[in-house]
A and B are shown apart, each in its own frame.
Chain A
Amino acid sequence: MTVGLTLRDLSAGYRKHPVLHEVELDVPAGGWLAIIGANGTGKSTLLKAIAGLVPHTGDVWIGEHKASELGRRELARKLGYLPQGASLPDGLTVTDYVLLGRTPHLGALAREGQSDVDIVTAVLGRLDLSHLASRQLRTLSGGEQQRAVLARVLAQHTGVLLLDEPTTGLDIGHAQILLELVDTLRREDGTTVVSTLHDLTFAAQYADRIVLINCGRVVATGTPDEVLTAQALTEYYGARTTLLTAPDGSRVVAPLRGS
């Protein structure tokens, strides 16, 4: 199930306002690409364009399959998309909700079978949600809810995960738990991960490659060390920062107060 992701000349936009321009990217199978950039530069749109959720031109290749030649359902079996601020329907239990992730594997009018339930049980176990399985979604804490949304995406059993700001609203501890989970999946299953991350230190720690977007264009791509420079952060974020090195050797982006 290890497939990489290739983008060629990908442009996208809403109505007549182009948001993304000719993006070219290669994500090797089992890689983790973090998309960074200031607010409103087109990070989420890039993820949605890959997932086929906004009108776009250019090509998305999932392994050797061209996304535009796949049906909606086939695409949903290859790409899992975790939206930012997922809406949680009232009254559904965690299990109900995660079972909806099996939709691409079911016929239009089919019901879930035992194998679907087994997959959901396994996913819940993996994300440490088993004890919450019967709870209503709304009664969970923010971190638990975000894990439930991730569980729904994982129940899709896709080789590629698109995560739009997976740590939004989570404190540093819960954000770490979630990112570690994703990393474990990547290492154990060879899942390819593309995520937007606003926390640059997390991006540096978890992603093996980073792409910096500005005004809908790729302005830098490479390893975290190559992309995360004080100069780039000043230029594209208007931020004053200094880059430190953590004991494990990873980059830490520290903001500086103005003088």
Chain B
Amino acid sequence: MLRAPRAGKSAPEGTSPDGDPHPVAGKRTRLRPVVLLLGLLGLVVVFLGAVLIGSSGLGWRQVLAEIVAQLTGGVSPLSERDAAIIWELRVPRIVLAGLVGAALASAGACYQAVFRNPLADPYLLGAAAGAGMAATIVMVTVPAVRGWPVDPIPIAAFAGSLGGVGLTWLLGRSASGRGSSGTGTLLLAGVAVAAFLTAVQTFVQQLNVDTLKDVYLWMLGGFNLADWNAVLLALPYIGLAAVVLVLCGRLLDVLGLGDAEAASLGLRPGRIRFLVLAAASLATAAAVSVSGLIGFVGIVVPHIVRLLAGSSYRVIVPMSLIAGAIFLIVADQLAGNVRYPAELPIGVITAFTGAPFFVLVLRSARGRV
């Protein structure tokens, strides 16, 4: 072997550099139970940590006592108001942050696979621009939205997001001819649609300057309005999409060979692309509808997972779900606590912590990318 593996993870298992003692087929990149368990364990730890620390004045001992009391049916040490803070504000907020992080990271991984482009992110095909436009229009045209029994903004954002992606898909399909794979055209259609919808959004916003602050806050994204309703709104779509995307991991690996080769292996690349993009866009739309536009997660998390755990989408997709959830829960805790009681926009945290970490991972993996 000419080149010694740098990190332990890339060392072949069952073989040694100077010999091949076992007639094994060689190292396979697959989701190892240990990695999965570590990931899940990390998620549980982060979740519990977030519940205990939170961002209000409650001490962690009290929260722990409350959780124990709830689990064992004992007497709650907290006032009703404090208990509500935990169960109606804190816990749904953490769950939602996890769900959104999982959705954006796995959708980003799948977009990168489908477009075979490391810079692809879930907002690429107009999901963000469509959601932004629809949310702005609702904020402008429906005054006093907060009084409604059902908040129309998430629903509008959800529809706008799917509408944006749908428009891109139609445009891309009509512009690319038969016989071409059309991913390049689809990307360009996404750029055009996003620019157009953003222009509409900006125009509507400029006509109604009084709502500028609301629109701006929504665009920045965050979880300060999270409740169980938002969780229930997003969960079915994100759950369904997650199942589809995880099951497609192997097919995404084959797609990585290119369309002609995937077809020569008996697959229909166009159909797989459609299915994966539809599922990923559904997850993105659900995430955007409940949390606004949170950047960086969809690009950085899949790459970190790829560098740490391997390049097969059978690993990247499930681990991106877990890592995305962990990343956004932590980022949301930081957003709430750094300048408590004021909240920082979570996008600031994701970029501020994510970018240096990303560079660190890139450096440590030098030579493997």
Contacts and interface: CB of A to CB of B under 8 A. Distances in A.
A191 to B, nearest CB: 16
A72 B268 CA distance: 8
Interface string B237-281: 000000000011011011011101101111110000000000000
Contact of A92 (B178, B247, B311): B311
A95 B311 contact: no
Contacts of A75: 266
Interface string B1-21: 101000000101101000010
A73 B266 contact: yes
A257 interface: no
Interface string A37-68: 00000000000100111110000000000000
Contacts of B12: 133-135
Nearest to A99: B28
Nearest to A122: B25
A84 B142 CA distance: 59
Interface stretch (A27-35, A104-112, A194-202, A214-222): A104-112
B264 A76 contact: yes
A130 B29 contact: no
B266 A91 contact: no
Contacts of A125: 23
Interface residues of A, number: 53
Contacts of A79: 264
A241 to B, nearest CB: 33
A53 B306 CA distance: 31
A193 interface: no
A100 interface: yes
Contacts of A73: 266-267
A143 interface: no
Nearest to A77: B266
Contacts of B248: 109
A94 interface: yes
A121 B23 contact: yes
Nearest to A92: B311
A115 to B, nearest CB: 12
Interface string B201-222: 0000000000000000000000
Interface string A132-148: 11111001000000000
Nearest to B272: A108
Given A103-B266, A106-B250, A133-B26, 5 more contacts: A81-B261, A95-B26, A100-B257, A109-B248, A120-B25
- Closest CB pairs A-B (n = 7): A133-B26, A91-B311, A134-B12, A76-B266, A95-B26, A73-B266, A104-B266
